[in-house]
Structure 1
Amino acid sequence: MDVQVRGGDSLWSYSNTFNVPLPLIINSNPTINPSMLSIGQTIQIPGYRLQRYTILQGDSFYKIATRNRISIDGLFLVNPGVNPNALQIGQTVNIPKRVTTAIINPRQNYDSQILAGDLEALGQLYPFMRRRTIGNSVMGKELIEVQIGNGEKVVHWNGAFHAYEWITTSVIMEFINTYLLALTNNETIRGRIMFPFYDQVTLSIVPMVDPDGVDLVLNGPPDGSFGEEALKINGGSTDFSGWKANIRGVDLNNQFPAKWEIEAERKPKQPAPRDFPGYAPLTEPESVAMAELAGELNFEKMLAFHTQGEVIYWGFENLEPPRAREIVNEFSRVSGYEPIRYVDSFAGYKDWFIQDFREPGFTVELGQGINPLPITQFDEIYQKTLGIFLASMYM
């Protein structure tokens, strides 16, 4: 929601008027100098939308404000030029309405187009949520990173490294919306006040690492050469529900230089619906973008969300730091998931992250069943994962 600066206004006064934490307003207006506001400047207020209201007999700004539980000054701010002493029946005015419910629906087949639309909608409503493109997929789709928070501690989450594990993106997006709501409405999640996390932690989130693969699983092969090649790799079948790789048939979570040679020796030797690690490490633009992101931001910890099994893999070659055990035990406590330190699998993002950065890295396997997990499991998966999201910020 936009307001125009009046004489004597400050971002602090807007924080008081709309009951939104001041740092959220400051971060929603990154090009504005808070100490040098100019009359007529546009300021974005996060977590609010304008609603049109038609004046009825006996209405006044006081009555409208009281009915809607807003301040009179808030009405003045969103109705510049309206004389409150000369309201006319049938006249329309703006009412600032606080958004208190989720605005996205992740409980659906969640492809890259839905993701892009939801991120745009959330960015408009909560402009303190930063978005940027960290690279592009094989087909040129944007790989979007979201950042929320001001803290020096950078915690990274990602989803849909594997195409048929797209439900991980849905779960991450549900938490993003829930977190943004809690921040702007001064609410708690599971009894925890959220704003201290915003101040202490910067969340780095890539909700969908493999948009081409996800779209292939959910929507079928695209027109053109990419779709034709995918059909060949899939043996001519139009059923891509078992497709795990990117559009070129490379398993993105087998692409990292952490004993990659072992995986290359025992996995498919050419593009396949799953498990082909590529002809060399880091050949795919999606895996390159994720590696570069880790190098840029120096994550304090990293969580890669996959499906399925309700387990958490947390070690690699005894290179994980001692505190990783304490963290994974807390993840297990809040979710019921089983911690597993080592597994006979290499070349994953978690493996490479632990190897190269010596920081805690986790592969969190959500849900149980056969991939792709049905969206009917969403609520159960989300409730178990919610504790992990929170614990990753406070541990």
Structure 2
Amino acid sequence: MKLYKTPSRTRFQPLAFSTPDEIVLDFIIQPIMFTQQLITSATLLGLSAAYVAPRATPAGDGFPDPNPQQLLSIEQQADGLLSNLPPPPQLSNAGITNFQLIAFNENLEVSFFDEIIKNITSHTPGFSSNSSAYSETALLEILNTVKAQEELHAITAINNLEHFNAPLVPEPCTYKFPVSNLEEAITLAETLTAVVLGTLQDAEQSFATNGDDGAVRAVSSVIGQEGEQNGFYRSLLNLKPSEKPFLTTNVAAFAFSALQQFIVSCPFDITQIPIPIFPPLQVLTTAEPRDMYLSFSADLTGNPDINGGSDFSGLFVTYLVGQQLPISEPIINPQFDGGVLTFNALFPFTENIMSGLSIAALTNSSNFANADALVANTLAAPGLIQVNDMLTA
């Protein structure tokens, strides 16, 4: 039933609150009332003052190290078994890093969906759904299944890491999430999943480059499953279920950097995962489906290549959009104060049809051959930009 046999292991104990009251989110979620014309993740990722009370992933079902009976219970809730295929015959160092990031992300997603579920089941005032398509009972059933599926994704990554004696198997951390109502929670779920879908593309490319073909089939199945999830979230948000013909790609360093804002503390040294962490690129303007200038900011304190005397003429905002080559636009109106650089850059929507997710980075170069080339030339990232027209009927 398990992916393969693994020896018993000693795990870090995740941090947890001591009383049941502290398990409840410290916000009240209002009914989903879809009145926005546009939804942008900029207000959710780093700019919202309200957030979920920090806590660690619960262990009521044995996750992340369930016994056989607990695993069966998770599988039954997930509507499917953990794969019983043997592990890949080999896994490169890059492949191990890929699975470290996958496990790190899946642990976070398990905690995120657990928080939403606990608010619904605890009948937090204003937490009921007014969606005409899904009752509260149906929404709970769906989210519990999603949580169990994410647990199996995490367990698969963990099993691979342990089989190859990885130097670090990420444990659940303590998290906070910048949402203040159910609509924001579902919007954040959609944005996180869109970022994951781009990041798993990067993992597949890495597997192909490093001869880790044995991992490809299982990870590809997860890409499809995450896509099913995101179509559901987009439907709840009154958006077209399918975002665009080719989903926006991403790179591991941008995904890992984005996840840091949700971390309160971890029972391991995050720097043991050999992926760069960039300063956040804040998107200060709500993007619209038109050519326009967006405002950005980045705290570049401590960057030896940046100083107040620079004219910043060699800096760009570089966008990842769908499967296009990276799109670089020079920054304008730079202002540098106290280590924080604020500036504007063109959002070239019309020519590039930048619907759905675009990922922005502040770079010191342009004319990149592919997404991977951005990492060595990035000063701050990622800026996550969502442009979605609401359905009119």
TM-score in terms of structure 2 length: 0.29
Q: Which has the higher contact order (CA 8 A, sep 6+)?
A: 2
TM-score normalised over the length of structure 1: 0.29
